[in-house]
Amino acid sequence: MSKEEKASKVESLSDRRFQQMADENRELKGYVAEVMQRLRQNERLFSRMFDLESQVLKSTDPEDLCFTLLRGLRSNFELDFVRFWLDRSSFIGGHKLDALSERDLVWVENDEIRQMGISRKQAWLMQLSPEHEFDWLDSQDRHLGSIALLTLGDLDNPFGVLGVGSIDRDRFAPDQSSDFLQHLAQVVGLTLEHAAAREHLARLSVTDTLTGSQNRRFLQPHSHQPLSQWFGSETEVACIYADVDRFKSLNERLGDDAGDRVLGMVSKAMRQYVRSNDPLIRMGGDEFVLLLPGCSQEKACDIAARAVNCVAESELLEDEKVTVSIGVAYSPAGKDPAVKQLVAKADQAMYVAKALGGNRVEIAESEQGDSDGS
């Protein structure tokens, strides 16, 4: 082989080697660019997740937490589906979640999560099709291509499932990494448990354990507020103040157990004629305050009379008649006294009822210029 041929061959080999290196360099640059893009995507993802976690941790109760989480997941993570399935028999079943729609929340029965097999791991990724459906989804969810199911709580005793879905079949394909979703499941589960525990403790602190009504501590933060700050402007408010007649004598003669039964019966008698969210407060001893926003004086007097009759007709204690005295005070729309002022007026009317023999209703005198509400 001549020198010229050898030189040409070396040059050709060199060119091919340079070309190979250039191709490898382009592939490496493409790989690095792809990795950097994924890193930036993950960085944005975790940044959004951190922001959502911060909002969730600020939630004051389970309802607020669930609502914040649903809204945040939908708006920040481009999801086509977000839903809670919560076990009605678990601790979460005793908490108010009325702000969540039926599309946001579905209650499942005791042990249903375990029976579905979801509790075997923290996160499940599923691709959906007519041949491969998930039983908990509705007909309106058939557009989904994939879904992730996040088990909430201890896997041995889960209290719920959070489902997130997409129309993209590859978004939650089984071969995708689930580390991020497992982290989300743990955060949501723990924060929901803590929020429920905080709400339970807060509820206990303002609840009378004997009767289930609120206690005086519940009223204290509102006491100096005008009625409008608690119940809204231009809202008429009635107040019923009840006291068991001769309760001290009854308690001394029949004992504390009989006295406790009487208090429970009186609380039930006052509660049965009003809305569940109307504040009923045991002021201490045998005194109760019932606040009725949006209630006329005439209606409040009717409720009070029903409560008086209900207590008087009860046969709770053998050979012992139990009665109550009730005072009613009313603040028409447009007037805005402090809560404690309305309660004090009802209290005074109650003492008038007692002075007149008890087992009756008396109405507080209206201030000059007040409507009588009838």
| pLDDT given at position 116 | 87
What is the Cα gyration radius of the chain? 33
Strand 123-127's sheet: what is its strand order? 105-108, 81-87, 160-166, 146-152, 123-127
Query: What SS3 class is residue 353?
Result: helix
Residue ranges, the chain, pLDDT below 50: 368-374
Q: Which of 32, 66, 50, 59 is nearest to 180 (CA)?
A: 50
**Minimal CA–CA distance to 134: which of 154, 121, 119, 118?**
118
Calculate helix-pair angle for 179-205, 62-76, nearest 10 degrees: 150
pLDDT at res. 290: 97
* Residue ranges matching CATH 3.30.70.270 in the chain: 214-363
Domain boundaries for CATH 3.30.450.40 within the chain: 59-204
Give the whole-angstrom CA distance, residue 137 versus residue 301: 50
Span 214-363: which CATH code?
3.30.70.270
Q: Which residue in 86, 279, 91, 119 sits closest to 197, CA to CA? A: 91
CATH of domain 59-204: 3.30.450.40
- Rounded to 10 degrees, what is the CA torsion of 35, 36, 37, 41? 100
Nearest Cα to 108, choosing from 116, 120, 98, 100?
116
The model scores a pTM over 0.85: no
DSSP state of 365: P
Largest CA distance in the chain: 135
